[in-house]
Chains A and B, each alone.
Chain A
Amino acid sequence: MHPNDPIRRVLVIDLSKRTFEVMDRPELFQASIGGAGTAIRLLEERCPPGADPLGPENPIILAVGPLVGLYPLASKTVAMFKSPHTGNLGESHAGGRSAVSIRMAGYGAVVITGRSPGPTYLVIEDGRVAFRDASALWGVRSSATAGSVLREREGGSGHRSILRIGPAGEAEVSYACVITETYRHFGRLGLGAVFGSKRLKGIVIAGTRTLPVADPVAYRREYDALFRAATTSPAMRKYHDLGTPMNVLPLNESGALPTRNLRATRFEAAEAISGEAMASRFLGRRLACSHCPVACIHLAALRTPHPKEPYFYKTSMLGYDYELIYALGSLLGIADPEGILRLADEVEIQGLDAMSAGVVLAWATEAYERGLVAKDDLDGIPLAWGDAEAYASAVRRIVRRPTDLYRALAQGVDYASSVYGGREFALAFGGNEMPGYHTGPACHLGFLTGSRHSHLDSAGYSVDQKVPPEGVGLTGDEIVAALIAEEQWRQVLSSLVVCFFARGLYTPDAVTRALAPLGIAATPADFDRIGAETLRRKWAFKRREGFDPTRLRIPERVCETETPLGRVDSDVIRRALERFAALSS
């Protein structure tokens, strides 16, 4: 790496003592590239075995990689922590302005430990950390208000990013998210609750550092090749046009769109909530993360009349993407896109993970239908498929927790179903709620075995979708091998750190070429080794914290409801998990 590249600097902040130090750790970044590879090593160093995820001993690690700030689509920050939602490895990625801001503030990683004596927010600049009083911000109704206040109150010269939590994070709902730049999220696995447990309302991070390269001529050449590919490739173009909601109709058509808690896989209103319909009725603006010419962020302009006063309207700009339409749409049987957007608004105000929130509400609806929970448990507001208004009230109650049921729902569907029953239709994998794909056995094996239990770990849906019509699918062992290979390569991408949407551009050879002008010599064989090592360390952390793939719960609903590849055979899954256990230990 270039000797003056600030990526080797790790900022360690202790909220309990209100102190910070900058550590020079070149060896860490040499061994692991950056991002996820660095974060898992810092987690090993900082997170004691058996740590309470909501205790001061649980560190928050934010890491970026050498490509960030230097190449297009290298736009993500990796957050790592012990998850309060699963009690195991927590990893979540977000874009916005966060990654470039951390990089330009002069850090490769930021570690936050301890617990603040009172509500606080941090202002991080090059060589300086301010601990600001956030007691007046604690308890504000909306995550958006906190964002606006920090934006106006804090200058922060240079490239700036603002991370914050909403009421859900303050209340330590185990799937609370952290919001950055209003429309991007460290969504999954409860980083927001970890912020809340530390009395950390937000982080402003800003920097003005120049990022040096070893060979400027070669740097500009490699930059241009990647930039051209990013702006001319049809694969990138579709993310800009309709964005990820382009997937609604094809998934529905193939019978893979989870609907009404996965009792069905085709939604009769799919057309109305499709990417095409959302764009034609609501698309108000498209946005990009820093340094991403693709601009996949889609905002809907929603005009809502005042409930009482005529001629009063509120116009909101609300982000939407495929996962949100699935979790707060088809999974809840909401056919009206305005209903989906209003529910999404409430989820955003509270600062919850949209996917987990949707799955929790879907489980609660079915549990109520089946009489496992009563109207009183629901605080007098019954839930019914398609009733967006009731769901929005329920979202507020998940945070406020007026009843024992809501206290359980605030800990996710795995926990709630362990108390009230209905395990067979509680859609969670390794404790994390299901993403929006029911494409076949590989997607579910991916959710079960992925280190984050996320569709992004190993893209199992893509393995399913490659099976030709009338063709023979892969065996369980073959699926496991494909998933591990993909997850291993994604460790490299998330160490650089580039957006997974750019995986087609950043092939191993392209990454070698991009790193060379920065003074980093690495071959595709090195990436194989580094990716495998990073994944091995994640598995080791998970085992240390009690993860056992052979004891994973497979929700019966997943095996009952037909996929485009037929029914998923639980015995096949079980044997594949044994295979995974052998390979990952």
Chain B
Amino acid sequence: MAKRLYVIDVDRCVGCQSCMFACARRAGAGGTAGSRIGVRSAGGMRKGFIVVVCRACAEPPCARVCPTDALAPREGGGVRLHPELCVGCGNCRDACPFGAVVWDAVEAKPLVCVYCGVCAAYCPYDVLAFDEVGRNVDASE
């Protein structure tokens, strides 16, 4: 079964961004540039945080608007990117209401979650879970 990320308890997020650093570290680099997961304050840190993950939609709007099929639906939900087909139009970025399609301005290509679950392994407060698509729905939505 295909897996995806779940934000199961956003109230426990302390904004440490360890998940973002973990995502960037997959490529062997430091910082948070290129992270496919996003943690940002909900309008000042006193209000807590918004954690943006790819929900692995069954019918992903980001893939629907891709003119070259560079973003193709993944079996079981979500998408896969075929960068060699991407023309950098940015439609996918605009189509995701959550902002889960991150834009790489240097390469002019989207950065989408690859559903590896590494970020969840580095969340110290169990905000994130990595589980099969369709599970955990009650807890996350």
Interface, chain A (partner B; CB < 8 A): 69-70, 72, 100, 103-104, 147-148, 151, 157-159, 181-183, 207-213, 216, 219-220, 223, 227, 231, 285-295, 297, 299, 317
The answer to whether B29 touches A210 (Cβ under 8 A) is: yes
Residue of A nearest to B49 (CB): A287
The answer to whether A69 touches B31 (Cβ under 8 A) is: yes
Cβ of B117 to closest chain A Cβ, rounded Å? 15
Given contacts A286-B14, A291-B18, contact A208 B105 (CB under 8 A): yes
The answer to whether A182 touches B46 (Cβ under 8 A) is: yes
| Interface-centre pick from B16, B25, B29 (highest chain A CB count, 10 A) | B16
Residue of B nearest to A292 (CB): B16
State in angstroms the CA–CA spacing of A69 and B17 once bound together: 11
The answer to whether B30 touches A211 (Cβ under 8 A) is: yes
State in angstroms the CA–CA spacing of A297 and B17 once bound together: 15
| Contact partners of A147 in chain B: CB under 8 A | 44
| Contact partners of B48 in chain A: CB under 8 A | 285
Cβ of B42 to closest chain A Cβ, rounded Å? 11
Whether, in the assembled complex, B97 has its beta carbon less than 8 Å from a beta carbon of chain A, the answer is: no
Whether, in the assembled complex, B1 has its beta carbon less than 8 Å from a beta carbon of chain A, the answer is: no
| Interface-centre pick from B24, B34, B44, B122 (highest chain A CB count, 10 A) | B44
State in angstroms the CA–CA spacing of A513 and B34 once bound together: 26
Given contacts A208-B105, A209-B33, contact A227 B28 (CB under 8 A): no
Whether, in the assembled complex, B91 has its beta carbon less than 8 Å from a beta carbon of chain A, the answer is: no
Name B124's contact: one of A183, A231, A287 (CB within 8 Å).
A231
State in angstroms the CA–CA spacing of A207 and B16 once bound together: 17
State in angstroms the CA–CA spacing of A291 and B105 once bound together: 24
Cβ of B108 to closest chain A Cβ, rounded Å? 14
| Contact partners of A287 in chain B: CB under 8 A | 14-15, 45
State in angstroms the CA–CA spacing of A72 and B30 once bound together: 11
| Contact partners of B105 in chain A: CB under 8 A | 157, 208
| Interface-centre pick from B15, B25, B30, B124 (highest chain A CB count, 10 A) | B30
State in angstroms the CA–CA spacing of A454 and B15 once bound together: 28
A-B contact pairs, 17 of them (CB 8 A): A104-B32, A151-B44, A158-B32, A159-B33, A181-B45, A183-B46, A208-B105, A209-B33, A210-B31, A210-B34, A211-B31, A212-B29, A213-B28, A285-B46, A288-B14, A288-B16, A291-B18
Residue of B nearest to A518 (CB): B30
Cβ of B12 to closest chain A Cβ, rounded Å? 9
Within 8 A of A (CB), among B9-25: 14-18, 21, 24-25
| Contact partners of A209 in chain B: CB under 8 A | 31, 33
Given contacts A182-B46, A285-B48, A291-B21, contact A211 B29 (CB under 8 A): yes
Cβ of B68 to closest chain A Cβ, rounded Å? 25
| Interface-centre pick from B25, B27, B31 (highest chain A CB count, 10 A) | B31
| Contact partners of A182 in chain B: CB under 8 A | 44-46
Given contacts A181-B45, A210-B24, contact A293 B124 (CB under 8 A): yes
The answer to whether A293 touches B45 (Cβ under 8 A) is: no
| Contact partners of A295 in chain B: CB under 8 A | 14-16, 124-125
| Contact partners of A157 in chain B: CB under 8 A | 105
The answer to whether A223 touches B32 (Cβ under 8 A) is: no
State in angstroms the CA–CA spacing of A528 and B48 once bound together: 41
Name A210's contact: one of B33, B45, B46, B122 (CB within 8 Å).
B33
| Contact partners of B27 in chain A: CB under 8 A | 210
| Contact partners of B18 in chain A: CB under 8 A | 72, 227, 291, 293
Residue of A nearest to B11 (CB): A285
The 8 closest A-B pairs by CB, nearest first: A216-B28, A211-B30, A288-B16, A317-B46, A70-B30, A295-B14, A293-B124, A288-B14
State in angstroms the CA–CA spacing of A289 and B45 once bound together: 11
Per-position contact with A for B60-102: 1 when CB-CB < 8 Å, else 0? 0000000000000000000000000000000000000000000
The answer to whether A213 touches B30 (Cβ under 8 A) is: yes
| Contact partners of B124 in chain A: CB under 8 A | 231, 293, 295
State in angstroms the CA–CA spacing of A289 and B39 once bound together: 13
Name B44's contact: one of A148, A289, A293 (CB within 8 Å).
A148
Name A100's contact: one of B14, B29, B32, B34 (CB within 8 Å).
B32
State in angstroms the CA–CA spacing of A158 and B104 once bound together: 11
| Contact partners of A231 in chain B: CB under 8 A | 124
State in angstroms the CA–CA spacing of A70 and B25 once bound together: 9
State in angstroms the CA–CA spacing of A457 and B44 once bound together: 31
Residue of B nearest to A299 (CB): B46
The answer to whether A208 touches B16 (Cβ under 8 A) is: no
Cβ of A256 to closest chain B Cβ, rounded Å? 30
The answer to whether A103 touches B31 (Cβ under 8 A) is: yes
State in angstroms the CA–CA spacing of A293 and B125 once bound together: 9
State in angstroms the CA–CA spacing of A317 and B46 once bound together: 6
Can you add 18 more A-B contacts, CB < 8 Å, to A183-B45, A211-B31, A285-B48?
A: A72-B21, A100-B32, A158-B32, A208-B105, A211-B29, A212-B30, A213-B28, A216-B28, A227-B18, A285-B46, A286-B14, A287-B45, A288-B17, A291-B17, A293-B16, A295-B14, A295-B124, A297-B14
The answer to whether A220 touches B25 (Cβ under 8 A) is: yes
Cβ of A513 to closest chain B Cβ, rounded Å? 16
State in angstroms the CA–CA spacing of A103 and B21 once bound together: 14
Residue of A nearest to B43 (CB): A151
| Contact partners of A212 in chain B: CB under 8 A | 29-30
| Contact partners of A159 in chain B: CB under 8 A | 31-33
| Contact partners of A211 in chain B: CB under 8 A | 29-31
Residue of A nearest to B21 (CB): A291
| Interface-centre pick from A148, A157, A220, A291 (highest chain B CB count, 10 A) | A291
State in angstroms the CA–CA spacing of A448 and B25 once bound together: 43
State in angstroms the CA–CA spacing of A539 and B28 once bound together: 40
Cβ of A89 to closest chain B Cβ, rounded Å? 31
State in angstroms the CA–CA spacing of A488 and B27 once bound together: 36
Cβ of B75 to closest chain A Cβ, rounded Å? 30
| Interface-centre pick from B14, B17, B48, B122 (highest chain A CB count, 10 A) | B14
The answer to whether B31 touches A100 (Cβ under 8 A) is: yes
| Contact partners of B17 in chain A: CB under 8 A | 288, 290-291
State in angstroms the CA–CA spacing of A158 and B38 once bound together: 10
State in angstroms the CA–CA spacing of A46 and B49 once bound together: 40
Residue of B nearest to A75 (CB): B16
Cβ of A302 to closest chain B Cβ, rounded Å? 11
Residue of A nearest to B29 (CB): A210
| Contact partners of A70 in chain B: CB under 8 A | 30-31
Name A104's contact: one of B25, B33, B122 (CB within 8 Å).
B33
State in angstroms the CA–CA spacing of A223 and B24 once bound together: 13
| Contact partners of A213 in chain B: CB under 8 A | 28-30
Per-position contact with A for B102-124: 1 when CB-CB < 8 Å, else 0? 00010000000000000000101
